[in-house]
Amino acid sequence: MDDVAIKVDGVYKTFKLPHERAGSFKNIFTHVFSFARKKRVYDTQHALSNVTFEIKKGEFFGIVGRNGSGKSTLLKMLAGIYQPNKGSITVNGRLVPFIELGVGFNAELTGRENVYLNGALIGFNKAEIDAMYQEIVDFAELEKFMDQKLKNYSSGMQVRLAFSLAIRADADILLVDEVLAVGDADFQRKCFDYFRTLKRNKKTVVFVSHDMNAIREYCDNAIMIEKSEIVASGKPEKIATKYAKLFMDQARSQTEDEAGVSSRWGTGAVKFTDIKVAVSEELITIDLKAVANETVENSNFGFSVKDATGQTLLGINSQIKRKKIDTLTAGTKVDLTWQFPNVLKDGDYFVDLAVIDKDGEVWDWWEEAKVFRVLKEERTPYPISPAVDLKLTVRP
């Protein structure tokens, strides 16, 4: 038990959402007098149900989940801000939450005064802040601005000051919400440096994020919350994959809904009749069938692939490939097979198809004819993930 930092045991949390604000005496009176036809004035929302897990001391623990899944509620309960309806939460050690940067900052106070106020909120007395004041200011690079009111700071300056204070927090356990999602690249780099320091110093950190790369890189263990329950727990790699799948399923069901209305136009002189996409770790193969409804000449078949954001990533046509198709008589069937190395990273992709004549007259243009998914064993956070060979020799 000594090595456990946080123990969460069978925790339930519900919120009562009043239909109408019941927060006035008038409502109380009306309800007193109308008790005969007592109505439920609350909707009960289950924010968490039966959540159980344990965080060991020195562990970097991730909590992932979609918006509204209950993960922020969980974090607030760990911080003692909300109380569980059922179950227990045991915290072993001094805990400091960072639900938001710069909590308690007051725009009407100067930077200096805010340092002392915010410092008090994370548990430092005046003498302690005095001792580290210069470091805080230097780190935030705000020397000249400390005697100005906070309302005259840019948001970037405020965040820098808040962060500079936050990293001073002397705690055994830190709760970090997605505060780190804000700020520019330089700031994020500083944040991740801080994370590495925490990890080196064997601090217990509970980290809530949508950034699966950060989860993979820093966390020792993680849980995923979906619809107020823990649906997965274990190594961050496994959790990150599950989390990615969650979104792809959603994206797929959306694109399938939209497939019926995916735009397609053209004269119909030549028309695609079938498309199949096969995805392997190394290759992506697109099999197409088309039929000529009229006799045509100099047809040009092409395709392109775009990602979920609509960005076209690659594409090619038979003319570029110098495959000349002279004449197609009415009724002729055409089979095409495109094959290219699978350099795509994890995600969902769309295939656009087109067949046109050499002057650009469109016979069949079919946008988002097919959606396919890439899920790889070897995973990197970068835009492309080609197969990379590694030859490694260790010589004594």
- Min dist CB 17 to other proteins, Å, is 11
Which member of 100, 138, 186, 294 binds other proteins (CB under 8 A)? 100
Residue 341, both tokens: 């190395």
- Min dist CB 28 to other proteins, Å, is 8
Q: Would you say 15 or 139 has its CB closer to other proteins?
A: 15
> CA-CA distance, 150 to 158, in Å (whole number)?
7
70: contact with other proteins by CB under 8 A: no
The residue count for binding other proteins (CB under 8 A) is: 29
356-361: list long-range contacts, CB under 8 Å, 24+ apart.
Answer: 356/299, 356/300, 356/302, 357/269, 357/296, 357/297, 357/298, 357/299, 357/300, 358/298, 358/300, 358/319, 361/267
Which member of 23, 310, 360, 396 binds other proteins (CB under 8 A)? 23
Q: Would you say 162 or 336 has its CB closer to other proteins?
A: 162
Segment interacting with other proteins (CB under 8 A) among 2-10, 92-100, 285-293, 325-333: 92-100
121: contact with other proteins by CB under 8 A: yes
312: contact with other proteins by CB under 8 A: no
- Min dist CB 352 to other proteins, Å, is 47
79: contact with other proteins by CB under 8 A: yes
Which member of 8, 60, 63, 76 binds other proteins (CB under 8 A)? 76
> CA-CA distance, 249 to 348, in Å (whole number)?
9
Q: Would you say 167 or 325 has its CB closer to other proteins?
A: 167
24: contact with other proteins by CB under 8 A: yes
Q: Are 301 and 318 in contact (CB under 8 A)?
A: yes
Q: Are 46 and 126 in contact (CB under 8 A)?
A: no
- Min dist CB 170 to other proteins, Å, is 12
Q: Phi and psi for 359 in degrees, rounded to 5?
A: -90, 0
Q: Phi and psi for 169 in degrees, rounded to 5?
A: -50, 130
How many whole angstroms from its chain centre is CA 283?
28
> CA-CA distance, 213 to 149, in Å (whole number)?
37
Binding residues for other proteins (CB under 8 A): 15, 23-26, 28, 76, 79-83, 97, 99-100, 103-104, 106, 108-109, 113, 116-117, 120-121, 123-126
